[in-house]
Structure 1
């Protein structure tokens, strides 16, 4: 595995984690915003009509994105350490 591909994998992982976190945050806002604006009587009808993801799933997705970002950061750190070691050995 090349050092460059390890860096790329880490960066791609961070980008994906950011996308997932952004979507989860938007879903949480949509879910909590919708429940405030709807009457208690018509809340069940709106929930069945709209395709709003569940709040629990959005929170889980946000936590998964956090772990993915941490793992991607570790990949970048490891690639950086490996590059530093290679430079030290060749110097």
Structure 2
């Protein structure tokens, strides 16, 4: 019975870890600048400086890397859910067998 409890705990921990990874990736994706063409309207010099740093690849988050992290987090959470489901099924089988 203790091994089923540890399987539940392990599954829940994995789900939570995957959710944290998804949350971090989503924040990174939400903070990524949109690739829009420059406006023909002149902008004040201060905004031009910010726009140039926003397009600098060293200062913006890598969208592809964030999307990969998002998918890894999703897979991690799904794997944890499968562990919890399997432990639940096993516990149900054990209860049916002993009853």
TM-score by length of 2: 0.75
1:72 matched to 2:80? The reply is yes
- Aligned alpha-carbon RMSD (Å): 2.3
Q: Is the 8 A contact 2:11 2:80 kept in 1?
A: yes
Aligned residues: 86
Higher-helix-fraction structure: 1
Which residues in structure 2 correspond to 1:53-64 (within 5 Å)?
A: 53-64=61-72
Larger Rg computed on CA atoms: 2
The match for 2:33 is 32
Q: Name structure 2 gaps, 5 residues minimum.
A: 37-46
The match for 1:81 is 89
Q: Name structure 1 gaps, 5 residues minimum.
A: none
